[in-house]
Every structure is written in C-alpha cells, then in structure tokens.
C-alpha cells in the first residue's frame, strides 16, 4: 500500500472514470483527509493480523493516484512480477523500482519481471488488477474491455501467466448513455467461495451467461449487486488473510452501507467483513479499498 503524499483529483483519469467528483476543499485539507483515511484503513487491516507493507508516496512527481498501486504492478506465486501500461501519463510515474526492492528486502522472492509498459507507445493499456480480476486458484482472468483494458494485451498476459481469459464489456449509465466501466474491479470481486458481480452492467446476454457459467462451474456463490451499488463501490472488494489464516472481505464504509442486510448475511457466511471510511479517496480518486491494495503472492525467501 502506498501512503498518499500528493493526493488530489486527477484530471487525466477523470475523462473516463465517472466515479471521480470534485469537492470544495483546499488541497491541504484534501491531502490531510486522504492521509487520515489511509492510516485508519491500514490500522483496521493490521488489527486483524493482515500483513501490510506501507511505502511512502514519492514527493514531487505529481502522482495524485499513487494510492492505487494495484494498477501498475501485480505479484504472483511463481515469483513473477508484472508491470502494466497505464492510460494516464502522470500515472506512469507511479512505477518505482525501489518499491520492488523494498518488497524483496521485506523477505519476498522476485524471480522475473514481465514488463508490458512498452504498449503505452502504441496507446494500448492494461491496468493491472484494476483491469484484471484474477481467480488465482482456478487460473481465470476476468476482464471488462475498455480504453484501459486492451484485449490483445489481456491475451498476452494470460499466455504469459497461464490464465484463461473471461472477456466481456461492462457498462454504466452516464447522462443517459451506456458507457464502458473503466475498470473491471469496480463491478466485480472474486473470493475463494463466492463472487460479487454486477450482472446488469453486462448488456450482452451471451457474455453475461458465459461469466455466470464460469463462476458457477468453479463452485462460487454469485452475489449480484445493482448499478447503484457499483456507484457505492460495492464491487471494489478484496478477500485477504489475517491472523490464523482467517479470511476477511475488505471494503469501504460506503460499500458496506450500500449492501442490503440479506447481502451482508450472505457474505458473512463466507468470511468476516472489514470496512473503513474512504470517502475522500473514493470521491476524488474514483477508486476504493480494493484499488489501494496490491496483494503479494510472491514466495518467501529461503
């Protein structure tokens, strides 16, 4: 997780991230609120025994979205690391070799770095586990195509990392128009025994049926959410492991509030829920709890 140092609304991502909204606060107050939300969120995770590596943001680089590291890097069980091409020019500066060095010094073993970033020269993008919702057990990569998720790059990733691509387009209604959702992980999250997904975002019936079949065939209970709940970041969730291998589903307070009582009960049948207030980060950044965590599956050294 990257602690914010220059957080603000990023005008370069707002062109197709329709969840970002301006607020009438000073830059100082915005940053203070973002830092407070970040630190509280980390404390909530650590209290349950979730291991968190916090790295300070890089001052002076103008990287307002650095708090969302999962878009530029992903870590895998075989020791491989993927670096991803980013849509916004100012987000490309978030990729920092020293972050990988720090993770290695924290006891993790990096074998290979697979770098897709040259695709930026061709205006092609695939933004990490924002674009990709990975079922690491069943080796499936769920991907909603958009200007930030190129199909050819998705196929290349799946060939390199041995995943089966599950491809669709997810839409949201913006000013009465159906426009692609910028990141898959806004409308979908996959846990070990369940999946949270906005099926009504998938307008194509064949694509929707294909997605449902993959999830059901893998034995996952499907918890369907609405487009309004997607706006509340109910799909932007991540299952993590805490003390004594206990599973938790991590989300923001707004996501938790957007779920119905029945939905909360269903989730709790699979794992406990952890949530924290991320209102400022969500409003200005257009991302939530899941986006703030780049989960580490790398093997330990020795």
pLDDT of residue 15: 57
Task: Report the C-alpha gap between 98 and 104 in whole angstroms.
Answer: 10
Q: What is the mean pLDDT of residues 149-177?
A: 96
Q: What is the mean pLDDT of residues 125-151?
A: 98
Query: What is the 3-class SS of 93-154, one letter each residue?
Result: HHCCHHHHHHHHHCCECCCEEEECHHHHHHCCCECHHHHEEEECCCCEEEEECECCECHHHH
pLDDT in tens, 20-44: 577 777 878 889 999 999 999 999 9
pLDDT of residue 286: 87
pLDDT in tens, 261-276: 999 999 999 999 999 9
Dihedral sign from CA coordinates of 106, 107, 113, 119: negative
**DSSP-assigned beta bridge partners for residue 221:** 194
pLDDT, averaged across the chain = 94
pLDDT in tens, 77-102: 999 999 999 999 999 999 999 999 99
Place of tokens 């930026």: 120
pLDDT of residue 237: 98
Kindly report which listed range (2-11, 113-122, 193-202) carries the lowest average pLDDT score: 2-11
């Amino acid at each position: 997780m990257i602690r914010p140092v220059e957080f603000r609304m990023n005008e370069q991502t707002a062109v197709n991230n329709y969840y970002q909204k301006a607020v009438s606060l000073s830059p100082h107050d915005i940053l203070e609120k973002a830092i407070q939300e970040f630190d509280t969120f980390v404390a909530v995770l650590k209290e349950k025994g979730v291991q968190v590596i916090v790295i300070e943001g890089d001052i002076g680089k103008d990287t307002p979205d650095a708090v969302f590291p999962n878009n530029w890097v992903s870590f895998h069980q075989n020791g491989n690391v993927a670096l991803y091409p980013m849509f916004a020019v100012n987000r490309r500066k978030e990729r920092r070799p020293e972050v990988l060095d720090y993770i290695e010094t924290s006891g993790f073993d990096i074998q290979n770095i697979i770098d897709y970033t040259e695709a930026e020269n061709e205006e092609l993008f695939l933004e990490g586990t924002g674009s990709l919702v990975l079922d690491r057990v069943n080796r499936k990569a769920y991907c909603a195509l958009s200007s930030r998720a190129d199909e050819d790059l998705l196929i290349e990733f799946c060939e390199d990392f041995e995943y089966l691509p599950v491809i669709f387009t997810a839409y949201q209604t913006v000013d009465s128009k159906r426009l692609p959702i910028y990141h898959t992980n806004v409308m979908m999250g996959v846990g070990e025994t369940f999946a949270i997904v906005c099926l009504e975002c998938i307008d194509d019936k064949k694509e929707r049926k294909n997605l449902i079949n993959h999830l059901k065939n893998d034995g996952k209970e499907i918890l369907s959410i609405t487009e309004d709940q997607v706006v509340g970041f109910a799909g932007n969730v991540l299952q993590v492991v805490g003390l004594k291998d206990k599973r938790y589903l991590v989300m923001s307070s707004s996501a938790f509030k957007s779920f119905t009582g029945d939905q909360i009960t269903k989730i709790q049948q699979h794992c406990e829920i952890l949530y924290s207030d991320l209102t400022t980060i969500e409003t200005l950044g257009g991302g939530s709890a899941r986006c703030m965590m780049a989960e580490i599956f790398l093997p330990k050294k020795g």
